[in-house]
Structure 1
Amino acid sequence: MVVGLPPRPGLCSVDSGIRAITRPSADVIQSFVQPGRIAAVHFKEGDAIKAGQVLVQQDDAAERVLLAQLKAQSEDTTKIRASDASLAQKRVDLQKLEKAAASNAATALEVEHAKLDVTIAELSLELSQFEHDQAIRKYEEQTIRVEHMQIKSSIDGWVEKIEVEVGESVNTTIEVIRVVQTDPLWIDAPVPLSQAVGLRAGMTARIEFPGSDKKPQIEEGRINFVAAVADAASGTLRVRIEVPNKPRRPAGEHILVNF
């Protein structure tokens, strides 16, 4: 007796449709880039989210104290102003000595020392400016570190899975949260080469979804990608179809595709 196997995606005839499976148009698993303790989880599984919203927050109290300190240092220009004032005074002293030397009231050595003082004061001002620039960069670096202690959504979608709890310590290898976008859905259909050669991005496709009363539900999709390399073993070409999903059908359904 031969036992029949369930059909695999892409193995039914072209006349009845090409079997495929829907998937999210975006599926993002996010982790933290540095170890830490979870301070807050702002959403629960199944919640709708928008791009840019903070999903999970690490405890950043100590990092924010350091950030405030570095911010104050980056805004402090005291050393620059002091160096600038010192340089201005050294230049005035040099001018006076040069006038005095012109009337033989100061020696050449004194003038040379005054010139050296001006040079040192100029270098001191440059050093103060450099240190100030470095303080700004350290503040910017710490700002980025604090931002990295939050996980923000990169897409509009839904929270599919949360892997952590408040108070838990995590490292960079831990998957924290999974976010998916299922409107639109994507379908990667393995289309026979004989049919795929005429397909182009922008063309429409007819998608048959399973219906609740055993009647298929028909939706119209649009091709947004046709692969450039065929699968030699199956003689098929991957064609991606995008289908609107306002009813929020789950990804992972077996469907039929017709062109």
Structure 2
Amino acid sequence: MEPTGSISPDHLNALYVITHANIVVRLVLAGLGIASIWSWTVIIEKAVRFTGLNSFANRFENEVGSGRSLEDIAAAAGDAPRQALPRMLQAALREWRDARAKGLLSGGNAEAQTAFLIQRIDRVLDSVIARESQKVETGLSLLAIVATASPFIGLFGTVWGIMSSFQSIATEKNTNLAVVAPGIAEALFATAIGLAAAIPAYIAYNKFSGDAAKYTARLEGFADDLVTAIQRRLAERA
């Protein structure tokens, strides 16, 4: 930051502050800018992803509740569905078919084998839910880091800018506004950019953390419904 003999409003606009700030403050501003862009990339990706996940889940749950055969719904989803709900349905039906093909659901030990089958289905579905939960939570840690670290990084730039102003006063031996204003401006600008990066990341982190928890609960509810449907089939065969 180079002190000038006089200042004008143009000297205090954002572009001038960025281009004329000292190297440390410029590095701080650049880092905060990158963090903000990064967090907004995650925010947009998460917004699109959760919208798509919930939209598909609504359609799939409606299909399952329509009375259509679960086998037909599972077959229509393809061999390697990308969404969690059809994978859960296929996994549950696969365990049930394997047990039936091996004759484990009939005979004198049928009751114990049935209980064991339900436990296996529970474990398989829990595994799918755990993997899907990890996927939907990916990127949230970045938002948390940006939300918590950005204000402190901006504060560091603020402190450095104020120190620069004091150095200018000492060098110029003058407390005129023209001497201190540029340093104060870049100091406050660093604070503003830190908050501008932190606030959206903080709001988005809380929003998407709630969305991830709701989606996981939705998968768990669907798993419970599947287990109930399998148990109903087993009861009908008894």
TM range (shorter): 0.3 to 0.5
Higher strand share: 1
Which structure: larger Rg? Answer: 1
TM-score, normalised by the number of residues in structure 1: 0.35
**What's the TM-score once normalised by structure 2's chain length?**
0.37
